Amino acid sequence: MAISTLKLVCKPNLLHLRPIPSQCVRKVVPRSVPSVEPEECNRSSNLKQVNKKAPAWKKMNSKELGFRNSMIASPIKKVLNMLKKKGYNVYLVGGCVRDMILRQTPKDFDILTSADLKEVMRTFSWCEIVGKRFPICHVHMDGIIVEVSSFNTAKRKPGRHFAHDIEAPKGFDKEDYLRWRNCVNRDFTINGFMFDPFAKIVYDYMGGMEDIIKAKVRTMVPAATSFQEDCARILRAIRIAARLGFSISTETARSVKHLSYSILRLDKGRLLMEMNYMLAYGSGEASLRLLWKFGLLDILLPFQALYFVRHGFRRRDKRTNMLLSLFFNLDKLLAPNSPCHSSLWVGILALHKSLSDQPRNPLVIAAFSLAVHNGGNLLEAVDIARRINKPHDIRFPELSDPCDLNAKALENEILDLVESVKVSLLQMTSRHSVARAMVDYPQAPHSDMVFIPLGMYLKALSIFDCLKVSSCKKFLSKKSRKIDYESLARGDLPEIRHLFARVVFDTVYPLHLGQS
C-alpha cells in the first residue's frame, strides 16, 4: 500500500494585475433584463494602463478584468437572475469579487440587493431570515445556501455610524452614494468591491484595486476604530493575508498587535469558525506563521506557541519546523473550495503535541499513520513500515534516532503513541492544562480560553478509535487514493483518516528525500 502525493495548489499570481484599467465606463441601462449566462470572453493578457486623471473611485469593466460568467456558480446565477427579473438591483460583494479579480475560486458568494428581506422571502420558495443584529436571507438553491443581504437592512444596522466621518468622493450620483455607503462599513479595502454582473461593472470606492496591486491588507477606516467595532476583523486580517500571501499594512499591523487580546471577547463559536477558515482551507502554514508573528498564537493555541518558544522560533522566523511542515503538507491537498473537516486539523495538532512532548522513532510514526489509513490493521501497517528504506527528515527533533524494532515492539509503540495522542487531545480541551501551557513564558499573555467544543474533541478522538489491541468491530479503510472532498468536508472517517495518514507520512518521509 502506498500513500499518494497530490500536486501543490497554486498560489495567486499578481503579475496579471499590473497595470490595471481605471477608466470610467458608462452606466449601462439595458433595454431588457439580461440573464447571467455562460459566455466566451477573449481577454487581452495585459490590462490597460492606469489613467492618472481618473477619480479616486473607479468603475471598471469586468471583461477587462478578465471576469467570466463561468466563475459564478450556477445556484448563484439563479438567485441573481430571479431577483433581477423582479426588478431589483443585485450585486456580488466582498471577498468573492476580490477572488475573481485574483483569478481564484471564491470560497463563497455574497449577494447584496435593493430588495427588502421580506421581498427576498417572497421571491424564493425555500428561504429563511437568520441573524438578529444584522439579519440576512439564507436562500436554499440546488443544495447550497446563498446569503443575500439588503441595502435597506444595512441602513438600519444598529451600532454603526455610516461613513465614519469619511467624506464621500466627488462625482457621485444617488446610486453611487448608496453603494459607497455600504462599502465604507466593510472591513478591508480589498473586500470593498461591488460587481454588477448585468451591467458588467466592478465598483471600487475605497482603493481596493490599488491595495491588491500592492498586495496589502488594509482596513477600510483607521485600524484601531475598525477593530474596536469588531475584534473578529483582527483574525480576518490574518486569514486573508495568509490565504492571499499579502502583507498587512503598517497601521493595520500595529493595531493587530496592540488589540490582539480583545479577541477573547468573541464567543467560542466565532473563534472556532475563524480558526477553521485559517487551518482547513489550504492556508494553515501561513496562518500559523502570522498568528505567531503577531502574538495571537499565544492566546489561541498556547501549546503550539510554547513549542515555538522552546525551539527558539523567532516571531519573523523564515525557517520551518515539524508543526509548520505538517500544515504545509495538509495545505497542498486543500483549497478554498475544497476544505477539510475541522477534526482533521485538530487531530494533527494533537499528534504534533504528543511528538513534541515525547519524540518517537520515525518508523513508529510511519506505522501509526499507515494503521490509521487502513482502518486499524496493525499487522499490515507494521509489515509495510518495516520495509521502508527511504530516509526520514532529520531536521525535526520530534523524530528520535531510528532503532531496529521487531514486529511486536513496533506494535506496542504504535499503541503507546495512540494513547499519548488521546491525552494531548484531552489537554487541548482542558482550561487548566491550557492555562498552564505558557506558565514558563511570562512574556506571553495569559489565556485559559478553550474554543474546541466537546463534539469536535470526540470527532477527532474517533480518528484513532480504530487503533486498539483487539476489537470486535471492523473499521472500513478507504479504497481509492482519490480524495472525495464532499466526504472530507462532512468529516467521513475513512476520508479523514486517509488525509491524516498522507500528511503525517509525507512529513516524516518527504518525497524529495527519496529521489536521487
pLDDT (tens digit, 9 = 90+) per residue, 12-22? 444 445 444 44
Our count of domains for the chain comes to: 2
| pLDDT exceeds cutoff 70 at 164 | no
Chain segment 205-233, per-residue pLDDT in tens: 989 999 999 999 999 999 999 999 999 99
The vertex-322 CA angle with 320 and 323, nearest 5°, equals 95
For β-strands 144-150 and 110-113, DSSP reports them as parallel
Does the N-terminal peptide bond of residue 19 adopt cis geometry, omega within 30 degrees of 0? Answer: yes
Residue 72: the pLDDT is 93
Residue 6: the pLDDT is 33
Average pLDDT over residues 455-469: 91
Closest C-alpha among 101, 110, 15 to residue 63: 101
Which of these is catalytic: 99, 110, 331, 506?
A: 110
Residue 155: the pLDDT is 53
pLDDT > 70 fraction of the chain, expressed in percent and rounded: 83
| pLDDT exceeds cutoff 50 at 26 | no
Helix residue ranges, H only, 61-116: 74-85, 95-101
Given 171, 191, 214, which residue is the final one in a domain? 214
Cell of 282: 489550504
Residue 55: the pLDDT is 44
Q: pLDDT tier at 54 (50, 70, 90 boundaries)? A: very low
Cell numbers 522560533: residue: 313
Q: pLDDT tier at 33 (50, 70, 90 boundaries)? A: very low
Given 174, 197, 214, which residue is the final one in a domain? 214
298 labelled catalytic: no
108 labelled catalytic: yes
CATH code for position 72: 3.30.460.10
Which of these is catalytic: 142, 173, 176, 187?
A: 187
339 lies in some domain: yes
Q: pLDDT tier at 25 (50, 70, 90 boundaries)? A: very low
Chain segment 410-451, per-residue pLDDT in tens: 999 999 999 999 999 999 999 999 888 888 777 777 778 899
Ranges 50-54, 120-124, 185-189, 309-313: which has the least confidence: 50-54
Which of these is catalytic: 108, 176, 416, 484?
A: 108
Average pLDDT over residues 38-62: 50
296 lies in some domain: no
Q: Higher confidence at residue 162 or residue 236?
A: 236
Cell of 469: 489491541
308 lies in some domain: no
Residue 417 has phi, psi (to 5 degrees) of -65, -40
Q: How many CA atoms lie within 13 A of 353 on its CB side?
A: 25
For β-strands 201-204 and 136-141, DSSP reports them as unpaired
432 lies in some domain: yes
Q: pLDDT tier at 389 (50, 70, 90 boundaries)? A: confident
Cell of 259: 488589540
176 labelled catalytic: no
300 lies in some domain: no
Residue 287: the pLDDT is 98
Q: pLDDT tier at 257 (50, 70, 90 boundaries)? A: very high
| pLDDT exceeds cutoff 50 at 471 | no
Q: How many CA atoms lie within 13 A of 435 on its CB side?
A: 5
297 lies in some domain: no
Q: Higher confidence at residue 9 or residue 456?
A: 456
Both 325 and 210 in a single domain?
no
Q: pLDDT tier at 161 (50, 70, 90 boundaries)? A: very low
Residue 396: the pLDDT is 97
19 lies in some domain: no
Both 198 and 338 in a single domain?
no
Cell of 241: 493575508
Residue 14: the pLDDT is 46
Mean pLDDT for the chain overall: 85
Residue 478: the pLDDT is 73
Q: Judge whether 62 and 69 are in contact, CB under 8 Å.
A: no
The DSSP output letter for 427 is H
Both 331 and 480 in a single domain?
yes
Strands annotated E in 239-318: 247-248
Q: Judge whether 486 and 492 are in contact, CB under 8 Å.
A: no
Residue 36: the pLDDT is 54
Average pLDDT over residues 47-69: 67
| pLDDT exceeds cutoff 60 at 158 | no
Residue 145 has phi, psi (to 5 degrees) of -105, 125
Cα gap 288→293, rounded to integer Å: 8
Both 345 and 197 in a single domain?
no
Q: Higher confidence at residue 386 or residue 152?
A: 386
Residue 199: the pLDDT is 95
Both 340 and 485 in a single domain?
yes
Both 363 and 496 in a single domain?
yes
233 lies in some domain: no
Q: Which pTM was predicted?
A: 0.86
The vertex-25 CA angle with 24 and 27, nearest 5°, equals 125
Cell numbers 427579473: residue: 85
Domain with 106 in it:
55-214
| pLDDT exceeds cutoff 70 at 32 | no
Evaluated on CA atoms 263, 269, 270, 276, the torsion sign reads: positive
Given 214, 229, 253, which residue is the final one in a domain? 214
Q: DSSP of 472-493, one letter per residue?
A: SSPPPPP--SS--HHHHHHT-H
